[in-house]
Each structure stands twice: as C-alpha cells, then as structure tokens.
Amino acid sequence: MFDDRYKGLTLDEAAEKAGGYVDYEPGRPLIVDADYRAMSKYCSEKGIKPMDMTEEERKIFLYDEPLVYA
C-alpha cells in the first residue's frame, strides 16, 4: 500500500512539472519531456491541434533534460 501511495505522489509531481499531463505504463519509467500545459495553451491560442504543430514549434516546449521517474 505504501508503494501505491508513493507512486501516486510521484505521478502527481510528474504531472505538475509536465503541466498536468502524463502517460503512465506500469512497470516502465515515467518520462516527462515537455511542458504539455503550455503546449496546449499555445495550440488553443493559435487554433491548431498539437499534431499540426511544426517541429520548430514543438521544440519550444521540450525540456533540455527529460524528467525521469522510476
């Protein structure tokens, strides 16, 4: 049970740093590589979908060092 609470806290911390969005697969490390909240806001303001962003636009939101949670 302690492990489950710890994982929940780790996911909460990761989600906060990622702008509220993380994708977790049990048994695999969680890697946060971009500020997804800022990316979502940018896309909303531009009226585009994230998949329609150019590579240059995506790079704006990437972290220099991905955040890795084991």
Cα gap 18→63, rounded to integer Å = 10
Listed range (14-18, 33-37, 39-43) with the worst mean pLDDT? 14-18
Q: Using a cut of 0.85, tell me whether the model's pTM lies above it.
A: no
Structure tokens, 61: 């939101």
Give residue-wise pLDDT tens across range 37-61.
889 899 999 999 989 999 999 999 9
pLDDT at position 2? 39
With a CB cutoff of 8 Å and minimum separation 6, the contacts of 46 are: none
